[in-house]
Amino acid sequence: QVQLVESGGGLVQAGASLRLSCAASGRIFSSSAMGWFRQAPGKEREFVAAISRSGGNTYHADSVKGRFTISRDNAKNTVYLQMNSLKPEDTAVYYCAADLAFNSGTYGTMIHEYDYWGQGTQVTVSS
């Protein structure tokens, strides 16, 4: 079983930056594709970014492309989401997710493709 713990959220002004971290337990982290999702109040959870096992392949949603960057450090069992030029519409609870089923070099963008989820961290961007 994989346990995920997010951190790094907070309240910032528009245009600021934040870096979210997701620490994973267990030795299987390096075998897991990882994803970040977010859920704003009253809205469905949506995909933000994903990264393959080695970190060699990444994918970002159009809404965050060019502003957010997903990365990982397998030696530290941690995945990151660097968020720059934050906008009020980025306000949401951000969740990291992991799954072992993806082949090397691949990742998922759908909620149902991930088996393990963190508890979430709140990001609030004021205008």
Predicted confidence (pLDDT) per residue in 52-110, tens digit: 999 999 999 999 999 999 999 999 999 999 999 999 999 999 999 999 888 888 999 99
Distance in angstroms between the alpha carbons of the first and the last residue of the chain: 40
51: nearest Cα among 78, 13, 85:
78
Cβ proximity of 19 and 9 under 8 Å: no
Counting Cβ atoms within 10 Å, is residue 1 exposed (0-12), middle (13-18) or buried (19+)? exposed
Predicted confidence (pLDDT) per residue in 15-39, tens digit: 999 999 999 987 788 889 999 999 9
Q: List CB contacts of 34: < 8 A, sequence separation 6 or more.
A: 22, 24, 50, 51, 70, 72, 79, 96, 97, 98, 107
pLDDT score at 105:
86
